[in-house]
């Protein structure tokens, strides 16, 4: 993903290890003084081989593996996997299970968006908002812990249902927690839309037009801030979203301010939805019997993660293991926009533009690319070269 | 007697050891208060001392491609500049140890020495973050320096002398914050710019350029630069509160007034978002300079 990479220029590397990045990724910005004239991205520093690992485990074991694809939106991955496997097995989880899945997904969205707001504020040098946002995020984590027993990997899903029920006491504590969060989010909305100093860093920065967003394939809140109507919860409802419809939040401006507003408005929408689900939780079993062997076939599932569209493809061959599992996370779709939008902006805006898409590197890395410099230009190493390099390296070490 | 007094003035009080300790304590106050305002716990009182001792004990890595003499020599010069400036200001509410007509200008330039040294230290290395940080440090120096200087000369004009001791004596009977409020605002914010506190921390914005000009510094050099900044914090606070807040005629007044001033600065740090370097320059030349010139205009008329 190179854009105008003139040689022999002053390049500022952001990454693989850099205070602006919470995960490894390499962004090279060519600067002319403070103005960015070129940008490139390189990924693969956190490749873990999850897809391959999934092929070696059976359907149930995979549930635990898939939950660990992402450390922030763990539930949505497990949900996508469960829906895909259920689709293969041609069964449907009971309505109460679907409602609980949706509820946890929305709680997760609240925690993810609050986390994002804190990180973005930190990139802008507004640490007070960062600290407060993360303090209030703890409330959601507590709710999730009370509900599932875990703060991060909730492990709420089972193939064919969910693991726990929501009782009256739990529903009450969630309602109270949501009141607190709603109050705080209203305050943050006031801050990010009215604080003049903060607006100087977000208004008109990293503007992505609707046409650009469509060409670059942006997803999630990043796309919705550019007025692209792309929210799978509304356009292709899954789980319980058809019984509890969500309203799509759109903004026409496409800058960082719009992304803040879209995400904060989505928080209110999530809070409303959770309350609605709690009030009208359908009565039914929590699980449905799942066959050990899943019939052969292919399944595709698309879900709306907090960051955008998550895509799962599963191919079963009739055994107790998947033959192929493909995961595509939203970050990879949005990264392209960072490289394009950063050009012409100041270096100081680059971390903000990067944070604006809410990047999550570990979950999107699907390959490692090893390049070496030969004759002044970079090229990818082949498997043979890489092997030879390893042999030479250890031979030199043993000398 | 005189040589002994000179040695005490240079090494123990007001310059030297006393100022180093006071600087680190003030730095702790700044950090702790900011932490409390940001809903954090913050460091314990000895944390800056522990940091400094740890850094002093550590190996100093001299990176490739630098001029080693300059690399090692700049931090002591920066610290010495800040410590020398302290000899001419009323530290702890006592009269300045030394003074001559026009020493205000010398003090202000000695205080800029730290920033200059940091800029030089950044440009001395090959590191990209250091180079950008140094450019930003020097750009920022050129933007706040003139308004800050003009704001400090306001009290000098009112007192009719450019000697810090005389101005302080005059300011003890006149709360210049009331007669020159605009000048006070510029001086206060200018001090924040000088100390590279948020929101003027673009030169060391760590989400962009890691640690700015000092990225390559470790061990002794880093500790010395940090001490220089701590000393400058005290000297700067002393100057502004002595000039504008009705003087610092005894140690109690000194502590209360400088801490009150620091309190305001910490509040601003917690409230404001970091400015980009172009916004910093714009702020100073569009508003800072204008404010101070308006202040001068009022003084000349009045």
Residue ranges of the alpha helices (H) in B162-302? 164-171, 176-179, 181-194, 206-209, 219-244, 251-271, 277-282, 289-301
**Nearest-angstrom CA–CA distance, A386 and A388:** 5
Closest CA to A230 of A300, A299, A307: A307
Tokens 């709603």 belong to A182
Question: What is the ipTM score, two decimals?
Answer: 0.84
Q: How far apart are CA A135 and CA A137, in angstroms?
A: 5
Q: Tell if the CB–CB gap between B39 and A127 is shorter than 8 Å.
A: no
B57 contacts B222 by C-beta, under 8 angstroms: no
Q: Measured between CB atoms, which of B128, B199, B208 is closest to A350?
A: B208
Domain residues for B231?
2-301
Find the CB nearest A125 among B209, B271, B273: B273
CA–centroid distance for A165 within its chain: 26
CA B181/CA B256 separation, integer angstroms: 20
Q: Do A200 and B129 touch (CB under 8 A)?
A: no
Residue A130's nearest CA partner among A201, A177, A188, A202 is A188
Angstroms from B268 CA to nearest CA on chain A:
11
Report pTM: 0.87
Burial B141-151, CB ≥16 within 10 A → b, else e: bebbbebbbbb
8 Å CB contact of B278 and A346: yes
C-beta atoms of B129 and A12 within 8 A: yes
Which residues from B are below 8 Å from A when comparing CB atoms? 37-40, 128-129, 132, 135, 198-199, 201-202, 205-210, 270-279
Tell me if A50 sits within 8 A of A327, measured CB to CB.
Answer: yes
Q: What's the number of domains chain B is made of?
A: 1
Beta strands A297-305 and A308-316: pairing type? Answer: antiparallel
Pair A250, A229: CB distance under 8 Å: yes
Closest in A12, A201, A346 to B273, CB measured:
A201
- The answer to whether the beta carbons of residues A40 and A2 sit under 8 Å apart is yes
In sequence order, the β-bridge partners of residue A313 are A300, A326
Contact: B198, A34; criterion CB under 8 Å: no
DSSP string, A158-173: ETTEES----HHHHHH
Q: Is B149 left (phi over 0), alpha (psi -120 to 50) or beta?
A: alpha
B140 vs B277: CA distance, rounded Å: 7
Distant-in-sequence, close-in-space partners of B95: CB < 8 Å, separation ≥ 6: B165, B168
Q: Which two tokens stand for residue B180?
A: 């020159």
Backbone angles phi, psi at A71, to 5 degrees: -85, -10
Cβ of B205 within 8 Å of Cβ of A10? The answer is no
Q: In tens digits, what is the pLDDT along chain A, a chain of 399 residues? A: 444 444 557 888 887 888 878 888 888 888 887 888 888 888 888 888 888 899 989 888 999 999 888 888 889 999 999 999 998 888 988 999 999 999 999 999 999 999 999 999 888 888 899 999 999 999 999 999 988 888 888 888 888 889 888 888 889 999 999 999 999 999 999 988 888 888 888 888 888 888 888 888 889 899 999 988 888 888 888 888 988 888 888 888 888 899 999 999 999 999 999 999 999 888 888 888 888 788 888 999 999 999 889 999 999 888 888 899 999 989 888 888 888 888 888 888 888 888 888 888 888 888 787 877 777 777 788 889 889 989 999 999 887
């Amino acid at each position: 993903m190179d854009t105008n990479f003139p040689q022999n220029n002053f390049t500022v590397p952001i990454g693989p290890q850099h205070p602006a990045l919470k995960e490894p990724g390499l962004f090279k910005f060519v600067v002319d003084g403070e103005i960015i004239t070129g940008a490139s991205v390189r990924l693969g520093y956190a490749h873990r081989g999850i897809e391959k690992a999934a092929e070696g485990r059976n359907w149930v074991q995979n549930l635990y593996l898939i939950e660990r694809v992402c450390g922030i939106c763990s539930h949505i991955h497990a949900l996508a996997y469960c829906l895909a496997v259920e689709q293969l097995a041609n069964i449907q989880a009971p309505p109460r299970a679907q409602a609980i899945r949706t509820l946890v997904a929305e709680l997760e969205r609240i925690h993810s968006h609050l986390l994002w707001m804190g990180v973005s504020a930190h990139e802008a040098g507004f640490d007070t908002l960062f600290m407060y946002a993360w303090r209030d995020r703890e409330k959601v984590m507590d709710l999730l812990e009370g509900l599932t027993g875990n703060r991060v990997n909730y492990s709420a899903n089972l193939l064919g249902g969910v693991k726990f029920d929501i009782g009256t006491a739990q529903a009450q504590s969630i309602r109270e927690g949501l009141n607190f969060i709603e109050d705080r989010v209203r305050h943050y909305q006031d801050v990010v839309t009215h604080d003049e100093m903060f607006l100087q860093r977000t208004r008109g920065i990293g503007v992505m037009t609707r046409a650009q967003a469509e060409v670059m394939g942006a997803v999630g809140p990043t796309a919705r801030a550019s007025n692209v109507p792309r929210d799978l919860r509304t356009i292709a409802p899954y789980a319980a979203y058809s019984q509890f419809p969500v309203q799509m939040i759109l903004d026409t401006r496409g800058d960082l301010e719009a992304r803040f507003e879209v995400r904060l408005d989505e928080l209110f929408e999530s809070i409303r939805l959770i309350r609605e689900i709690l009030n009208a939780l359908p009565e039914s079993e929590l699980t449905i019997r799942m066959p050990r062997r899943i019939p052969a076939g292919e399944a595709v599932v698309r879900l709306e993660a907090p960051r955008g569209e998550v895509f799962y493809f599963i191919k079963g061959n009739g055994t107790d293991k998947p033959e192929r599992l493909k995961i595509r996370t939203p970050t990879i779709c949005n990264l392209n926009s960072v490289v394009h939008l950063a050009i012409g902006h100041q270096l100081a805006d680059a971390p903000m533009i990067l944070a604006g898409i809410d990047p999550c590197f570990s979950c999107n890395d699907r390959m490692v690319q090893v390049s070496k410099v030969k004759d002044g230009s970079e090229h990818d190493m082949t498997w043979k070269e890489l092997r030879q390099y390893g042999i030479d390296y250890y031979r030199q070490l043993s000398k | 007697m005189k040589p002994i007094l000179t040695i005490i003035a240079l090494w123990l009080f007001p310059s030297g050891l006393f100022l180093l300790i006071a600087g680190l304590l003030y730095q702790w106050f700044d950090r702790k208060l900011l932490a409390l305002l940001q809903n954090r716990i913050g460091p314990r009182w000895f944390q800056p001392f522990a940091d400094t001792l740890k850094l002093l004990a550590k190996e100093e890595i001299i990176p490739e491609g630098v001029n080693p003499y300059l690399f090692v020599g700049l931090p002591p010069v920066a610290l010495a500049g800040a410590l020398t400036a302290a000899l001419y200001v009323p530290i702890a509410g006592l009269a300045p140890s030394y003074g001559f007509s026009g020493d205000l200008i010398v003090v202000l330039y000695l205080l800029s020495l730290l920033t200059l040294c940091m800029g030089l230290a950044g440009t001395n290395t090959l590191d990209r973050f250091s180079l950008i940080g140094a450019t930003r440090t020097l750009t920022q120096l050129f933007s706040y320096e003139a308004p800050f200087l003009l704001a400090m000369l306001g009290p000098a004009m009112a007192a009719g002398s450019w000697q810090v001791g005389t101005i302080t004596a005059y300011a003890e009977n006149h709360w210049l914050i009331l007669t020159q409020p605009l000048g006070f605002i510029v001086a206060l914010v200018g001090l924040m710019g000088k100390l590279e506190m948020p929101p003027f921390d673009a030169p060391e914005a760590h989400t962009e350029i890691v640690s700015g000009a000092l990225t390559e510094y470790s061990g002794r050099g880093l500790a010395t630069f940090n001490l220089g900044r701590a000393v400058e914090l005290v000297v700067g606070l002393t100057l502004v509160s002595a000039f504008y807040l009705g003087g610092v005629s005894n140690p109690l007044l000194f502590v209360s007034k400088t801490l009150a001033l620091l309190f305001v600065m910490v509040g601003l740090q917690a409230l404001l978002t970091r400015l980009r370097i172009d916004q910093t320059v714009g702020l100073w030349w569009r508003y800072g300079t204008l404010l101070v010139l308006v202040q001068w205009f009022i003084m000349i008329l009045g």
